Structure 1
């Protein structure tokens, strides 16, 4: 019986991450790469511009999306409920505007590719010439 439980747990752990790895992407005109602190600051509304000075347009996936959960656990260290509370305070006080929400990683990639200064995140396996990788957590 213990062996079955261990196999079930191992199976869940191995299948839990179906992604090659989340990466922060930008429009090819965005310029410089980001470091961990810069990516965190952008996604927490603490910074509104990219390292080269261009105004940043931050894009998010919807609540409940596994890629969003993976991204925020690696980059901001916040859970979905913490993010919701955090952004509600920022928006309510007028300190920041909530990121633009994209319905899927394909929509995120297309929106980032079409918007100078845009920053988003997708699975590394989805990266092509239409976007540039700015940071890999």
Structure 2
């Protein structure tokens, strides 16, 4: 009897962990439609999210938006796109803020809010889960590849 309770608990935990993994599917980088940027190299993306690149090639200031550290999509984005853990990124932001060299990215509550603020903010960049509808929202999907023609 006790074994079946433990088995149900383990199965329940596995289902929860799988659903978290599914919700953290591939992240796609988006920008405000007026930014005129369609491609970034991984190095450029990392410089932007580590607050080292502050302007787009056309001179527009970059405004970075992120999800909370605990969000599975944020964790996936940090690991897969930036090659760092969320806590490492957080430490870097804190160091820049406390030294007066930069501001923190703006944290948004969820992906829907991410879409809204990026569409409304010139120079904005952020990320959403793959497959989210961005038609007629005012954002562009960015391709990330090693082609450094924009650098």
TM-score range (shorter-chain normalised) is 0.7 to 0.9
Whole-angstrom distance in 2 between the partners of 1:110 and 1:88: 26
Whole-angstrom distance in 2 between the partners of 1:55 and 1:67: 25
2:52 matches 1:77: no
Whole-angstrom distance in 2 between the partners of 1:70 and 1:102: 16
Match of 1:5 in 2: none
Whole-angstrom distance in 2 between the partners of 1:19 and 1:82: 19
Match of 1:87 in 2: 93
Structure 2 unaligned spans of 5+: 1-10, 146-151
Larger radius of gyration: 2
Q: Is the 8 A contact 1:25 1:134 kept in 2?
A: yes
Compute the displacement of 1:92 (Å): 0.6
**Alignment deviations for residues 73-92 of structure 1 (CA, whole Å, 9 cap, x no partner):** 01222212212211111111
Match of 1:46 among 46, 52, 55: 52
The aligned runs of 1:1-137 (5 Å cut-off) are 16-33=21-38, 34-129=40-135, 130=137, 131-136=139-144
Change (3 A) 1:36 1:110: same
Structure 1 unaligned spans of 5+: 1-7
**Alignment deviations for residues 12-46 of structure 1 (CA, whole Å, 9 cap, x no partner):** 99763345521110111011222211111100011
Alignment coverage as a number of residue pairs: 129
